[in-house]
Structure 1
């Protein structure tokens, strides 16, 4: 279940990033960052389930960091 979700989120993030790079139109960047945050969160949950607590908590921290950057980009 988590592997499929990670695959889908990874593809979505890559497509949105590619769209922004090719067209030089960064309208979809907040959606890409939201997808990236979800991708990292799912990875962190997966690592915690496998018993890698250090890596899992680091991924969850990175997820929160990406969300904070996303919120900060909306405030400016």
Structure 2
């Protein structure tokens, strides 16, 4: 289940990033960051399950930071 979620979030992130690069229109950057953070959260949970606590906490910290940045972008735009 986590692998499917990770794949879906990563593909969505890639599509938003590709759209921005191709069209030079970055209005979906906040949504892209949100999905990037969600994929980091899923990877962090996977690392917890594997027993790699250090990497898991790092990935969860990256998720929290990207969540903060994307929410700020939603509120300020």
Q: Same fold (TM over 0.5)?
A: yes
Q: Which residue of 1 aligns with 2:64?
A: 64
Q: Which residue of 1 aligns with 2:43?
A: 43
1:27 paired with 2:27, answer: yes
Separation in structure 2 between the aligned mates of residue 29 and residue 57 of structure 1, nearest angstrom: 25
Q: How many residues are treated as equivalent by the alignment?
A: 76
Q: Which runs of 5+ in 1 are unaligned?
A: none
Contact kept? 2:31, 2:70, Cα under 8 Å: no
Separation in structure 1 between the aligned mates of residue 30 and residue 66 of structure 2, nearest angstrom: 10
- C-alpha displacement of 1:11: 0.6
Q: Which residue of 1 aligns with 2:76?
A: 75
- C-alpha displacement of 1:69: 1.7
Structure 1 stretches of at least 4 aligned residues deviating more than 3 Å after TM superposition: none
TM-score (norm 2): 0.91
Q: Which residue of 1 aligns with 2:4?
A: 4
Q: Which runs of 5+ in 2 are unaligned?
A: none
Separation in structure 1 between the aligned mates of residue 67 and residue 27 of structure 2, nearest angstrom: 17
Q: CA RMSD in A?
A: 1.2
